[in-house]
């Protein structure tokens, strides 16, 4: 299975401290801080000053050295602002390896553009891309952000991979009566706390923190980044005051936001009742309304209201036929209520790498809203932004994690369903008719469900024919054909069907005299990156659990005989399974290879990594076997 995703890098939304004389020259960095470091934080002073539950200021002075091109993304610097989180001032200074200042960029010289299609109040992105003529290069950033409301407070990173820290300070100043809460993630570095009048001051200080390597496929950053999370007790956004000391209170605040935007008119209620009048069960009614949502409403990533948390009214979505995740979820909730079905909103973090949610540390660390319909046996989970997911299905970006379910009594932490490899199934059937000259006509059919189906629908389905052929060969890594035709399901079928016919002037890999050597399959079954490590420290994460079933049939003409066939293979582990079986029909001149690959668990414990690596080696060895046919 392959994950296709993009990356956008922004700094958090930062005032000079006492600069050391040598922090701009890369040649003054200690050797111990250079080891494994792509970035070295030379000097950092961050101060979060909270005045009250509606006002705060965030000031940052930061000098860092980018050691090589591996860290070039750090030279894309940007801040996102809205009416609750406003960039007040910013300045960037650039120094060469010797520490000579080459340029200064003020806020006025940076790029600024609106986001959210102009519908986010004061929604702007301020950014600048630093061109590096050579490495190392040192950058100084000074910026200040003003918060109108302390619903979201910035975190502080202590240690992270490929990044060393020469000196860093993080301070929080907060009124004693208001207070803040903090959570240490992957660290035991407690702050110094002192009282200054009616204010508490929290201070973390770091010196000479070495960089460390990060193994590939280590899962969510929350599992390895050393950081401090910060959350308010009381907060306010616009006229909405809230309490975040419990998930219940968090949910009460969300309920207040949605109270004025839920529900549809009586006329529309009757419209939805008529739509489902022939449905026998609530589940059938919900499926009809979900199908209507998918076919008539459009997802638009925009934010209105208080910091993007209050959605469009359901009536707005009903009229305009679009909305963001919370608006579409709120709309479907309202239509379900119109036909007598109770549902609940869920606040969740959507990504392949889930955030860790602590029952004892309520914090607003979410980016998405979905819906659920509680049932006596099985809860129905609904992703309201997707036009492709089947009814009652979540994808890998929201499965197997904690979310806050919003009830009439407030918020409750719940778990979304776990992923299952049988849900993500790819079945491939291929017939290869070999010609007397060693070419072939190939017919293959794919049937896919789950994550691979979503990839094909979102990345392949609407392409032009030439682009589809290119995508298929690149994505599935097939042996390049000489001629190629492809077709697929007309709609959003589940499973999604794809078929191809391909011509090859030469289908065998190589020959030795009259012996021809053929691949068991024309594409790689297993191409996961599982590097060798002397000792794996962290757990290994697949994109998702899945299974692949392949049947490949070679049909040979008269005069071709079997010389050698690979031995049947079976590898069984608790988290993975592989079998391949080969059979030769002398009368028909056909060779059939049937293979099953199952990645049963997404996460493989570090203690089992040696077994996983051995699994891959055995699978790859079998994949590299050759079928040997003798031509008379």
Q: Where are the domains of the chain?
A: 26-233, 242-415, 425-631
CATH class of 425-631: mainly beta
Output 11 or 95, whichever has higher pLDDT: 95
Strands 39-52 and 163-175: parallel
Residue 555 parent element (H or E): strand 546-555
d(C-alpha 615, C-alpha 613), whole Å: 5
Helix axes 282-296, 266-275, angle to 10 degrees: 110
Look at residue 10 in the predicted model and tell me its pLDDT. 43
d(C-alpha 450, C-alpha 393), whole Å: 9
Q: What is the pLDDT of residues 144-191, one digit of tens each?
A: 999 999 999 999 999 999 999 999 999 999 999 999 999 999 999 999
Give domain 242-415's CATH architecture: Roll (3.10)
By CB atoms closer than 10 A (0-12, 13-18, 19+), residue 34 is middle
pLDDT over 70 at 543, yes or no: yes
Look at residue 259 in the predicted model and tell me its pLDDT. 85
Look at residue 2 in the predicted model and tell me its pLDDT. 38
Look at residue 3 in the predicted model and tell me its pLDDT. 38
pLDDT over 50 at 6, yes or no: no
Look at residue 116 in the predicted model and tell me its pLDDT. 64
Strands 76-81 and 515-518: unpaired
pLDDT over 90 at 118, yes or no: no
Look at residue 300 in the predicted model and tell me its pLDDT. 85
DSSP-derived secondary structure letter, 469: H
Mean pLDDT computed over 399-409? 96
Residue 318 parent element (H or E): helix 314-320
d(C-alpha 581, C-alpha 576), whole Å: 17
d(C-alpha 469, C-alpha 481), whole Å: 10
Cα separations in angstroms, 368 against 309, 330, 353: 10, 12, 14
Look at residue 4 in the predicted model and tell me its pLDDT. 36
Look at residue 18 in the predicted model and tell me its pLDDT. 40
% of the chain with per-residue pLDDT over 90 = 87
Look at residue 237 in the predicted model and tell me its pLDDT. 87
Q: What is the pLDDT of residues 297-352, one digit of tens each?
A: 999 876 555 556 778 889 989 999 999 999 999 999 999 999 999 999 999 999 99
**Cβ burial 357-394 (10 Å sphere, 16+ → b, else e):** beeebbbbbbebbbbbbeeeeeebbbbbbbebbbbbbb
Question: Does 425-631 match 26-233 at the fold level?
Answer: no
Instruction: Count Cα neighbours of 491 within 13 Å in the Cβ-side half-sphere.
Output: 6
pTM beyond 0.75: the answer is: yes
d(C-alpha 189, C-alpha 205), whole Å: 9
pLDDT over 80 at 14, yes or no: no
Angle at 108 between CA 107 and CA 110, to 5 degrees: 65
Q: What is the pLDDT of residues 380-401, one digit of tens each?
A: 999 999 999 999 999 999 999 9
Cα separations in angstroms, 159 against 130, 288, 576: 24, 50, 33
Mean pLDDT computed over 534-546? 95
Look at residue 22 in the predicted model and tell me its pLDDT. 80
Q: What is the pLDDT of residues 552-605, one digit of tens each?
A: 999 999 999 999 999 999 999 999 999 999 999 999 999 999 999 999 999 999
> What is the DSSP code string of 15-68?
------TTTT-GGGS-HHHHTT-SEEEEEEEEEEEEEETTEEEEEEEEEEEE-S
Strand ranges across the sheet with 76-81: 76-81, 124-129, 111-114
The 3-state DSSP class for residue 285 equals helix
pLDDT over 60 at 103, yes or no: yes
Mean pLDDT computed over 514-519? 96
Look at residue 119 in the predicted model and tell me its pLDDT. 59
Look at residue 1 in the predicted model and tell me its pLDDT. 40
Classified by CATH at the fold level, domain 26-233 comes out as Immunoglobulin-like (2.60.40)
Q: Using pLDDT thresholds of 50, 70 and 90, give the confidence band for residue 8.
A: very low
The 3-state DSSP class for residue 489 equals coil
Instruction: Count Cα neighbours of 400 within 13 Å in the Cβ-side half-sphere.
Output: 18
d(C-alpha 580, C-alpha 55), whole Å: 64
Q: What is the pLDDT of residues 43-69, one digit of tens each?
A: 999 999 999 999 999 999 999 999 999
């Amino acid at each position: 299975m392959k994950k296709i995703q993009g990356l956008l890098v922004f700094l958090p939304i930062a005032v000079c401290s006492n600069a050391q004389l040598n922090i701009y020259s890369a040649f003054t960095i200690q050797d111990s801080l250079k080891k494994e470091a792509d970035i070295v934080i030379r000097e950092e002073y961050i101060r979060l000053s909270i005045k009250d539950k509606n006002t705060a200021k965030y000031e940052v002075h930061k000098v860092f050295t980018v050691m090589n091109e591996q860290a070039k993304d750090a030279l894309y610097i940007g801040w996102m602002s809205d009416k609750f989180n406003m960039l007040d001032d910013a300045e960037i200074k650039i120094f060469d390896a010797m520490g000579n200042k080459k340029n200064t960029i003020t806020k006025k010289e940076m790029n600024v553009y609106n986001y959210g299609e102009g519908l986010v109040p004061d929604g702007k992105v301020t950014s600048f891309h630093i061109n590096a003529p050579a490495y190392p290069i040192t950058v100084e950033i000074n910026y200040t952000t003003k918060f109108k409301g302390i619903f979201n407070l910035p975190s502080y990173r202590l240690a992270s991979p490929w990044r060393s820290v020469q000196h860093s300070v993080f301070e929080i100043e907060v009124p004693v009566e208001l207070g803040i809460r903090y959570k240490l993630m992957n660290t035991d570095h407690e702050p110094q706390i002192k009282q200054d009048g009616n204010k508490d001051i929290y201070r973390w200080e770091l010196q000479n923190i070495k960089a460390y390597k990060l193994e590939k496929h280590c899962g969510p950053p929350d599992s390895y980044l050393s950081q401090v999370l910060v959350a308010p007790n009381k907060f306010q956004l616009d006229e909405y005051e809230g309490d975040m000391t419990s998930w219940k209170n968090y949910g009460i605040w969300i309920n207040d936001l949605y109270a004025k935007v839920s529900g549809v008119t009586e006329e529309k209620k009757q419209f939805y009742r008529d739509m489902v009048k022939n449905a026998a069960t609530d589940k059938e009614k919900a499926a009809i309304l979900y199908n209507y949502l998918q076919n008539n409403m459009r997802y638009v990533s925009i934010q209105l209201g208080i910091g993007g948390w209050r959605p469009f009214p359901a009536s707005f979505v009903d009229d305009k036929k679009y909305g963001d995740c919370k608006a579409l979820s709120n709309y479907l909730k309202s239509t379900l209520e119109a036909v007598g079905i109770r549902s609940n909103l869920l606040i969740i973090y959507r990504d392949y790498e889930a955030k860790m949610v602590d029952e004892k540390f309520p914090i607003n660390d979410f980016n998405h809203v979905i819906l659920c319909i509680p049932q006596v046996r099985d809860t129905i989970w609904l992703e309201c932004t997707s036009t492709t997911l089947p009814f009652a299905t979540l994808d890998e970006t929201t499965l197997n994690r904690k979310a806050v379910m919003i009830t009439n009594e407030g918020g409750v932490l719940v778990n979304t369903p776990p992923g299952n490899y049988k849900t993500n199934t790819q079945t491939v059937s291929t017939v290869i008719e070999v010609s007397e000259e060693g070419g072939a006509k190939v017919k293959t059919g794919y049937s896919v469900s789950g994550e691979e189906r979503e990839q094909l629908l979102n990345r392949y389905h609407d392409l032009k024919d030439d682009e589809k052929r290119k995508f298929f060969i690149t994505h599935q890594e097939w042996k390049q054909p000489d001629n190629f035709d492809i077709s697929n399901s007309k709609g959003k079928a589940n499973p999604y069907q794809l078929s191809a016919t391909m011509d090859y002037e030469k289908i065998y890999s190589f020959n030795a005299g009259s012996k021809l050597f053929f691949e068991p399959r024309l594409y790689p079954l297993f191409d996961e990156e599982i590097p060798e490590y002397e000792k794996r420290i962290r757990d290994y994460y697949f994109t998702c659990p899945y299974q692949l079933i392949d049947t490949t049939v070679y049909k040979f003409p008269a005069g071709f005989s079997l010389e050698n066939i690979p031995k049947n293979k079976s590898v069984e582990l608790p988290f993975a399974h592989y079998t391949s079986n080969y059979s030769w029909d002398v009368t028909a001149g056909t060779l059939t290879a049937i293979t099953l690959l199952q990645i049963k668990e997404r996460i493989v414990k570090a203690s089992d990594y040696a077994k996983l690596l051995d699994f891959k080696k055995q699978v790859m060895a079998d994949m590299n076997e050759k079928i040997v046919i003798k031509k008379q």
